[in-house]
Structure 1
Amino acid sequence: MIINNVKLVLENEVVEGAIETEDGIIRRIGESPSRLPQALDGEGGWLLPGLIELHTDNLDKYFNPRPKVDWPSHSAMSSHDALMIANGITTVLDAVAVGDVREGGHRLGNLQKMIDAVINSQQAGRNRAEHRLHLRCELPHHSTLPLFEQLVDKPGVSMVSLMDHSPGQRQFASLEKYREYYQGKYHFTPGQMAAFEEEQTGLAQRWSAPNRTAIAAHCRRRDIALASHDDATEEHVAESAVLGAAIAEFPTTEAAAAASRRHGLQVLMGAPNIVRGGSHSGNVAAQHLATLGMLDILSSDYYPASLMDAVFRIAHDGSNAYTLPQAAKMVTLNPARALGLSDRGLIAEGKRGDLVLVNRHDGHIYVKNVWRQGRQVY
């Protein structure tokens, strides 16, 4: 597979040239175009490594497209995979919730179905992207640790995050924001909301600390990438570092992001936060961390198209010092390194031929073509 006339987004520079892959591997990068008749014309677009997504909840919405609607697994997985590839994402960690903030929530009901769909479709070779699993462990529940222990050795488990969405801390340090979010989500009356808040506070006091310690120990023994989630204080970050976390997912304050950097954790923020211009929970803005040079990884979270959009927004925003290669690393090389994947995340000879070609039209970035291991999948 040969592509001519592209702007190659390399590790530290952008160069105009051509690229050739063979047997799924990048074999040649050069400035002179190939004269072979099968060469494709990239029309001057940017060629980036395939994007690597560490935390997406997108699969969940296909299993439950509407309240009380359960969708067939094969169709849900196929639709999710198609959307990932259409947005240039060639390696996907599908985030599944282990434990739920509400007893009887649909996420727990769909958990095994989603895990089976990811594993079976990947093993059968039906997916266009490479799908792996990210276990999002909601800590304040008695069932979280036993369930995690059943799942941690499943094929493809590549990352675990430690989450605590109980009221008055981390993402929901503001009780007003907590009540606004969950009343809107579950349509609670004021009385139901008060009872729910009290219940969640009690569960967190009982289960969060022991579950956090035990799950982190499992990850260390298995060398699974561990992420903290919604750290808000320097104390939170220090605890995460001691437990062996390598990634700080969505720190909620500038102080927590700075502390994460000091402790050697890569700071991951949501690409929708960049596109929208701020956090929907009222926490620190990803763009603000970018202006301070404290942003390492981006995740599309709930909106896959945001990932590529955010890269170009950051690279062309004069308020920060990120070049396009530096911004691109947030969705390619940095997440690959966080997972210990040395075969991808970079356009270089000998690396996997995971590539995405993008063009700009009317000031907006569009994905034109995608290749995984040298085979065109979009």
Structure 2
Amino acid sequence: MDLRLSGEVLGAGGFVEGRVDLSGGRIVGAGGGRDVDLSGFWILPGLVDAHGDGFERHLAPRRGAMRDLGQGLMACDAELAASGITTAVLAQFFSWEGGMRGPDFAQRFLEALERTPMATAIFPQLRLETHLLDEYSRFAAVVAAHDVPYVVFNDHLPHTALAKGKRPPRLTGQALKSGRSPEAHLALLEEMFTRRGEVPGRVAALARDLRARGVHLGSHDDRDAAAREGWRAAGVSICEFPETRAAAEAAREGGDFIVLGAPNIVRGGSHSGNVAAADLVEAGLCDALASDYHYPAPVQAVFRLVEDGVCDFQAAWRLVSEGPARMLGLRDRGRIAPGLRADLVVIDPQTKRVGATFVAGRVSHMTGRVAERFMR
């Protein structure tokens, strides 16, 4: 659509009363589209969500995945749009945990994503469990076949319990989700643990091959500075959800990108006792706030940061728009400027509710008083 939206526009210098012209899916300097008066509302760059796995509940609202993953993905698409997200990274496990996190399901997920029409711009991320050594060749083939642009390395193996020869916590429930017996699941964990010495070399080789393909590489839950420096040495330049300030500081000193969880800010801290994301934001140790497991969280986190005096609105919004876009190499979005994609979100500052979301100039969500303005 060709539109001329008038309201409070968030630009490079903050909010100004102004106009945003949309034509051909882009923001243009001056257009002749229909005028829409959005006075009293904020017109903002669309959110770029750098990591979210909230789609899992859409694909399996009860135990066992839906037969038609496309229907679940479309439901997820609607939630993304209602949350103001215009570009979303869907983070899918490729893990020994099995079930919805196993290699077979990862392939199903990617195939469904390719054939499902989505209003939101979607990028898949595959999260490889580093100790799943026997599946590395298959993983590389899946990344190539589906042109996966983003890979993250995870390690959820219960090292402490296995090192002590103890039964890991939550073993039975985890085994049931994987479709294995508890005995078989424990045997698998123990076998992977005995081969842990092979992991660094295999990861480094895989990371080298993925970088050659232009894949963005990240690590997850870095525990300390040494862990981050090790990942950087392997060419992994994105630090997702560092568990400590030391890990985040090491990432910043090395020029790496830092992704933090928006739910951590909304909650007022980590649910697992790790460093508080708001403290890292205040220290300048954050490039992107991601939804993690709750798609409404990025907008909520922005308002929480402002209310708590951590930063101003413009700086907070940059963490959910321009920052993650830059991290992912998406230079055509994340800001409101002529020539960029018309990825926009309209918010009612009184209710803090997303009233409209535009993806490349097309409406993906519209409701309430904002919708009334468009219907006039």
TM-score tier by shorter-chain length is 0.7 to 0.9
Indicate the residue corresponding to 1:26 in structure 2: 27
1:282 aligns with 2:273: yes
- How far does the alpha carbon of each residue in 1:11-42 deviate from its partner, in whole angstroms, 9 at most, with x for none? 3422121111111111137xxxx9x8931122
Question: 1:269 deviation in Å?
Answer: 0.7
Aligned letter for 1:226? L
Indicate the residue corresponding to 2:290 in structure 1: 299
Indicate the residue corresponding to 2:87 in structure 1: 91
CA 221–194 in structure 1, closer or farther in 2 if over 3 Å, else same:
closer
Report if the CA contact (8 A) 1:21-1:374 is conserved: yes
Indicate the residue corresponding to 2:46 in structure 1: 50
Give the Cα–Cα distance (whole angstroms) in 1 for the partners of residues 39 and 168 of structure 2.
50
Q: Single out whichever of 297-306 and 142-151 deviates more from structure 2.
A: 142-151
Q: Percent identity?
A: 32
1:76 aligns with 2:72: yes
Give the Cα–Cα distance (whole angstroms) in 2 for the partners of residues 194 and 166 of structure 1.
12
CA 273–144 in structure 1, closer or farther in 2 if over 3 Å, else same:
farther
Give the Cα–Cα distance (whole angstroms) in 2 for the partners of residues 309 and 333 of structure 1.
17
Aligned letter for 1:216? A
Give the Cα–Cα distance (whole angstroms) in 1 for the partners of residues 283 and 168 of structure 2.
31
- TM-score (normalizing by structure 2): 0.86
Q: Where does 1:6-21 land on structure 2 (aligned, <5 Å)?
A: 6-21=7-22
1:107 aligns with 2:106: no
Q: Where does 1:55-204 land on structure 2 (aligned, <5 Å)?
A: 55-100=51-96, 102=97, 104-108=98-102, 109-121=104-116, 126-168=117-159, 195=186, 199=190, 202=193
Partner of 2:48: helix, strand, or coil? strand
Aligned letter for 1:366? R
Which of 328, 335, 360 is the aligned partner of 1:373? 360
Report if the CA contact (8 A) 1:216-1:226 is conserved: yes
Question: 1:369 deviation in Å?
Answer: 0.3
CA 14–119 in structure 1, closer or farther in 2 if over 3 Å, else same:
same
Aligned letter for 2:64? K
Question: 1:197 deviation in Å?
Answer: 10
RMSD, matched Cα:
2.8
Question: 1:293 deviation in Å?
Answer: 2.1
1:258 aligns with 2:245: no
Question: 1:48 deviation in Å?
Answer: 1.3
Which of 244, 266, 269 is the aligned partner of 2:235? 244
Question: 1:246 deviation in Å?
Answer: 2.4
Indicate the residue corresponding to 1:330 in structure 2: 319
Give the Cα–Cα distance (whole angstroms) in 2 for the partners of residues 216 and 19 of structure 1.
42
Give the Cα–Cα distance (whole angstroms) in 1 for the partners of residues 337 and 171 of structure 2.
46
Unpaired segments ≥5 residues, structure 2: 366-376
Report if the CA contact (8 A) 1:144-1:211 is conserved: no
Give the Cα–Cα distance (whole angstroms) in 2 for the partners of residues 92 and 11 of structure 1.
23
Which of 329, 346, 349 is the aligned partner of 1:357? 346
Question: 1:168 deviation in Å?
Answer: 4.8
Unpaired segments ≥5 residues, structure 1: none
Indicate the residue corresponding to 2:329 in structure 1: 340
Give the Cα–Cα distance (whole angstroms) in 1 for the partners of residues 355 and 9 of structure 2.
15
CA 204–84 in structure 1, closer or farther in 2 if over 3 Å, else same:
farther
Aligned letter for 2:283? L
Q: Single out whichever of 39-48 and 4-13 deviates more from structure 2.
A: 4-13
Q: Single out whichever of 347-356 and 273-282 deviates more from structure 2.
A: 273-282
Report if the CA contact (8 A) 1:271-1:307 is conserved: yes
Report if the CA contact (8 A) 2:66-2:72 is conserved: no
- TM-score (normalizing by structure 1): 0.85
Indicate the residue corresponding to 2:370 in structure 1: none
Give the Cα–Cα distance (whole angstroms) in 2 for the partners of residues 343 and 27 of structure 1.
13
